Structure 1
Amino acid sequence: MVVLMTPAEATRPVLIALAFASSLAVAGCGAVDSDPHRFSAMADNVASIDIPLSARDRETRHAVAEKAGLRPVRFTPVKVAVMDPHAMWDARDVQAGLRPVGEDTGLRDAVVRAASPAVVKAVADEAISRVQAPVLRPASLPATRETGRTIQLGAYSSAAGARLAWDRMKATSDLSGLSPIYQEVEVNGRRLTRLKVGLVSTETAAAVCRSAAVADAWCARNS
């Protein structure tokens, strides 16, 4: 099939190619690296090239084609689109039927989909380990509360006298398990040392006084 083109129509693709090549040359030289929209501007420049076709040229073209028995050539507007490499690859695959149009082809989403099962399993394992981990509590011993009171076995003029009295009582009486307590006091201006033992329950206070040979009734009542 022979296609007849007017001079203006024949030169239109050449002009577009020259404009596109010059734009690429400028971009390749780094002249517009600072402009993030340089490719969009380049596409607009190419699309804005005006190749006028007069009414006379169009009529002549159709007349010549009809006389030659040829079908007139119809030109459609040139559409220039700027696409990043990833979008271009995706569009190519969709056009070739390699990938459905609705499929999410983003690299990030693909990685997320691939990693989702592992992430879910890791979270579940962590939750199970926390639930099953034994709870450690500080060891505590039951507090023992001492009960009873101290009873006074005597009062002496010095600490040495109180210690001698305790040694004598312990030697002649059954006072095992009791510990002496020496208390310095002042009574009517006189310094004394009280000899006490404890702790003694109220029920056994009288028996301790008898064992220590203390006959005074105040022995069992002191505390």
Structure 2
Amino acid sequence: MDLDFGALPFLVEGLKLTLIITLVGVFFGSIIGSILGLMKISRFKLIKALSIVFVEIVRGTPLLAQIFFIHFGIPGLLGMRFDPLYTGIFVIAINSGAYIAEIVRGGVQSIDRGQMEAGRSLGLTGIQTMRHIIWPQAVKVMIPPFGNQFIISLKDTSLLSSIAVGELMYQSRMYTGNTFSYFDTFLLVCLFYLAITIPATILLRYTERRLERS
């Protein structure tokens, strides 16, 4: 059986956009997640409650529902229109941010409380202790689950084809709609995803082993 590689140029373009959305989305998601994660361990009840509510809403609703709500629901209410690409980046940032918040919370809370007391005994403020003592140790704990979240967000971008974002899945659907070459095209799509996720998983496991030794 001869495979049809005519979809390759379209899929390569889609893959580029998939990577851009993932990298930019997870970058902003990391910022959002770090803020939310620290809010969740705050002593101020209102700040902690706001973070918990946001994280639970995002984690408790399907990503596809979030995509439709943000891309169609909010613009429909405001009488405006969102660019699908910006919607995609925003949704990936918000969604990954909610999960990264739990990673940050768990990472910080895994560090012995005595570390904070030791920092304060040295004359450091709470913020300085967090920055120079707690955070560097917590980052080592957070790296493996953060890597897993990156891979999950990468695969989640496939749902953005539902709002016509020209990522990998959208390009494959457009190509097969004209050529009906379903088997060959979607086989290539799977191989493209595997070409990214397998090396990322190997790198992640290698990083975990290095961190265990350090």
Indicate the TM-score class for this superposition, using the shorter chain for normalisation: under 0.3
Higher strand share: 1
Higher helix share: 2
Q: TM-score, normalised by structure 2?
A: 0.25
Q: TM-score, normalised by structure 1?
A: 0.25
